[in-house]
Amino acid sequence: MSGSVNKVILIGNLGADPEVRSLPSGSPVVNLRIATSERWRDRNTGEQRERTEWHRVVIFNEGLAKVAQNYLRKGSKVYIEGQLQTRKWEKDGQDQYTTEIVLQGFNSTLTMLDGRGEGSGESGSYGNQGSYGGSRQVENRQRPSSAPAFEPGGMDDDIPF
Amino acid sequence: MSGSVNKVILIGNLGADPEVRSLPSGSPVVNLRIATSERWRDRNTGEQRERTEWHRVVIFNEGLAKVAQNYLRKGSKVYIEGQLQTRKWEKDGQDQYTTEIVLQGFNSTLTMLDGRGEGSGESGSYGNQGSYGGSRQVENRQRPSSAPAFEPGGMDDDIPF
Amino acid sequence: MSGSVNKVILIGNLGADPEVRSLPSGSPVVNLRIATSERWRDRNTGEQRERTEWHRVVIFNEGLAKVAQNYLRKGSKVYIEGQLQTRKWEKDGQDQYTTEIVLQGFNSTLTMLDGRGEGSGESGSYGNQGSYGGSRQVENRQRPSSAPAFEPGGMDDDIPF
Amino acid sequence: MSGSVNKVILIGNLGADPEVRSLPSGSPVVNLRIATSERWRDRNTGEQRERTEWHRVVIFNEGLAKVAQNYLRKGSKVYIEGQLQTRKWEKDGQDQYTTEIVLQGFNSTLTMLDGRGEGSGESGSYGNQGSYGGSRQVENRQRPSSAPAFEPGGMDDDIPF
DNA sequence: TTTT
DNA sequence: TTTT
């Protein structure tokens, strides 16, 4: 089927430092554990309630994997855009299924929302968020850099809006 | 943690008719199986490849549950907005985890993208999409119906844009 | 037409303190100016480039309007979900059009992404982000608070995933 | 500023055939007019109300521009993901501003939601939606085509979910 | 100017 | 007019 969309948008905090592996090809793959929480007041008891959801994020996109590896730490707050994938594996001869948010290729995004990588503390130096945004966009950007993005006029030249 | 977002957006087709259950409270709960697919050309072999992903959707929102029950069928194309939740259950004494897209409360959406409910054929009469969009929005809409949504002016009254 | 979606998602910073007005009904309306920026490296010159986009946000949703009024300040970073609306007005007898991101009713969201309301400094006490998330969700939440959200089982009871 | 997001998601119908122009560089640029509508029941009068919003979409992304040019017609239903940009122009010596949804570079999407290109009728042959999805993804896809996307295991090898 |  |  074409005409389908599979998109996940998360804003949350890392529950642990990123975990880095390598594909046989040498490409880095980064796994993140991200928590999102919601709070609400119970309608019956009136008390404050909270629910935390944990998400598995897998980054295949090389540029984003490097960003994650270099700038994210336990506690970092991130914005993520990826897609849902469920994979099957076995445990004691029994099928298991794991659903992950995959960042791969176009239409994947990772943006740091704190400039500090606050959290674990034992982090070392991993720069600021600016260097990442730039590097990622370099590889995907397509607008001709020398031409203006828009020219006056458009669909209705006389009454352009 | 506050300041988090957990959002899933899907456009896909139902792999089966909706499955309706009832909560102890009598509220309907609807389960959907939705397929999203992507196609691409293999970089090495040049051949066309396709991957289909199956998603579990659970609708707790009563208005949306009724829409799903009444208007969706196997093959229906839908737009869905919900959130990720993973629940734990047991099988043969072993923990299992299932991740679902939950439509519940505010910020959940379900929109039919075909006016026919094409697919199974044995569908019977389940109306058109218009009746749903209306009914759902009735219960959530908040703009005072008699007042204009906007008045001229705003942050910079003289140079409003 | 049914079957349509109109959604804007922004993460950016307020360029000024929120501007609060009141509808004839007494309901508060809050206007925000939000900046989003992107940086990239120019393909030809290799130099760093930046583009900032300014957005007009209008909050009709009462709960979110109060949050904005109480907790946001110039410089605050926010996540916003709303919809596009263009309104027409006149200036010197000439039609003008202004496009805004409207937060109104269901499917609107405003989330603070910094816990401090940093920015202007002369802010006074406007609490932490947690108090907002809760209050908003109170008015929209629908899951019965006493019942478990999920029961084991689902569409395929034996092979639940 | 880094750490910002500027995203628009639309599902709507074309109010007119796509309008194709060319940049000085020869790259095609396509303008679309897209309508989104919402219906609700007036709380006071109880009558059905409808509001249609018209959006200007500008496609700079070459692959998506070709898809739009070849497969979209007046009446076509599309899913669009782009970003907001407001540009300034002059009319009778007075500043005017136009806000558009721009599809450009990574993180832009255009998906046909009807397989027919229904609408104008005088369309000629513009294939099916499949050919587009493929071609677009070819140019952006990054997963190594020969390697499995996932290997069993992950962050917690023993308790993988 | 679309669509239902 | 924000932010880095």
Nearest CA-CA partner of D83 in D59, D54, D112, D113 = D59
Task: Give the integer Cα–Cα distance in Å for D28 and D20.
Answer: 7
Yes or no: say if B58 and B102 are a contact pair by the CB < 8 Å rule.
Answer: yes
* Angstrom distance (rounded) from CA C32 to CA C24: 20
pLDDT at B48: 92
- The model's confidence at residue A1, banded by pLDDT at 50, 70 and 90, is very low
> Positive or negative CA dihedral for C11, C13, C14, C15?
negative
Kindly report which listed range (A2-6, B107-111, C93-97, D1-5) carries the lowest average pLDDT score.
D1-5
Average pLDDT (A3-12) is 97
- Determine the average pLDDT of the residues in C54-74: 96
Residue D2 pLDDT: 62
pLDDT, one tens digit per residue, over C33-43 is 999 999 888 88
Pairing of strands A109-112, A77-91: antiparallel
Q: How far is the CA of C18 from the C1' of F2 (A)?
A: 13
Please say whether the dihedral angle defined by the alpha carbons of residues C94, D37, B110 and A104, taken in this order, is positive or negative: negative
Confidence bin at A2 (pLDDT 50/70/90): low
Q: Is the CB of C35 under 7 A from strand F?
A: yes
Q: Is the CB of B130 under 7 A from strand E?
A: yes
Residue type, B17: D
Q: Which of A69-78, B34-43, B71-80, D61-70 shows the lowest mean pLDDT across its residues?
A: B34-43
pLDDT at A95: 93
Kindly report the bases of strand E lying within 7 A of a protein C-beta atom: 1-4
How distant is C1' of F1 from CA of D136, in Å? 38
Contact criterion met (CB below 8 Å) for C38 and C81 = no
Residue C137 has pLDDT above 70, yes or no: no
Is pLDDT above 80 for B24? yes
Residue whose pair of structure tokens reads 């606050």 in the numeric block: A118
Mean pLDDT of A131-157: 32
Reply yes or no on whether the pLDDT at A117 is more than 80. no
Within 8 A by CB and 6+ apart from B145, the residues are D42, D43, D44, D45, D49
Half-sphere exposure for B33 (CA within 13 Å, toward CB): 14
Please give the interface size between B and C, counted as residue pairs whose CB atoms are below 8 Å apart. Answer: 154
A65: tokens are 């994997």
A120 or B16, which is more confident:
B16
Q: Which of the four pLDDT bands, split at 50, 70 and 90, describes residue B40?
A: confident
For chain C, give me the number of helices (H) and strands (E)?
Answer: 2, 7
- The pLDDT score that the predictor gives to residue C31 is 98
D neighbour chains, 3+ CB pairs within 8 Å: A, B, C
pLDDT for the residue A116: 53
Tokens of B64: 């949306």
Among D7, D36, D37, D40, the strongest candidate for a mutation testing the B interface, having the largest count of B CBs within 10 A, is D40
Of A40-54, A91-105, A112-126, the one with minimum mean pLDDT is: A112-126
DSSP chain D: --S-EEEEEEEEEESS--EEEE-TTS-EEEEEEEEEEEEEE-TTT--EEEEEEEEEEEE--HHHHHHHHHH--TT-EEEEEEEEEEEEEEETTEEEEEEEEEE-STT-EEEESSSS--SSSTT-----HHHHHHHHHHHH--S-TTS-S--S--SSSSS--
Backbone dihedral angles phi then psi of residue B19, each to the nearest 5 degrees: -110, 120
Question: Residue C153: is its pLDDT beyond 80?
Answer: no
Give percent of chain A above pLDDT 90: 61
DSSP C25-47: TS-EEEEEEEEEEEEEE-TTT--
Asked if residue B159 has pLDDT above 80, the reply is no
Tell me if A139 sits within 8 A of A132, measured CB to CB.
Answer: no
**CB under 8 Å to D46, separation ≥6 — which residues?**
none
What pLDDT band is residue B155 in, cutting at 50, 70 and 90?
very low
Say yes or no for a CB contact (<8 Å) between A99 and B86.
Answer: yes
Query: In this predicted structure, what is the pLDDT of residue D13?
Result: 97
- The whole-number pLDDT of residue C129 equals 32
User: Chain A residues contacting C, CB < 8 Å?
Assistant: 9, 11, 38-45, 48-49, 77, 79, 86, 95, 97, 111, 113, 130, 133-135, 137-138, 141, 145-146, 161
Q: Is C38 exposed, middle or buried (0-12, 13-18, 19+ CB in 10 A)?
A: buried
Residue partners of C149: CB distance under 8 A and separation at least 6: B60, B85, B87, B102, B104, C143
Q: Indicate the range of B23-37, C126-140, D111-125, D140-154 predicted with least confidence.
A: C126-140
Q: By CB neighbour count within 10 A (0-12 exposed, 13-18 middle, 19+ buried), where does C128 fall?
A: middle
Residue nearest to nucleotide F1 (CA to C1'): C15
C37 touches strand F (CB under 7 A): yes
Interface contact flag, A149 D105, Cβ < 8 Å: no
Domain chopping of chain B, boundaries: 8-112
pLDDT surpasses 50 at B141? no
Q: Architecture of domain B8-112 in CATH?
A: Beta Barrel (2.40)
Residue C141 has pLDDT above 90, yes or no: no
CB-CB contact of A119 with A126 (8 Å): no
> Is any atom of nucleic acid chain F found less than 7 Å from the CB of residue C129?
no
- For residue A78, give the chain C residue with the closest CA: C113
Which of the residues in chain D have pLDDT under 50? Answer: 1, 117-161
Collect all residues of chain D within an 8 Å Cβ-Cβ radius of residue B48. Answer: 134
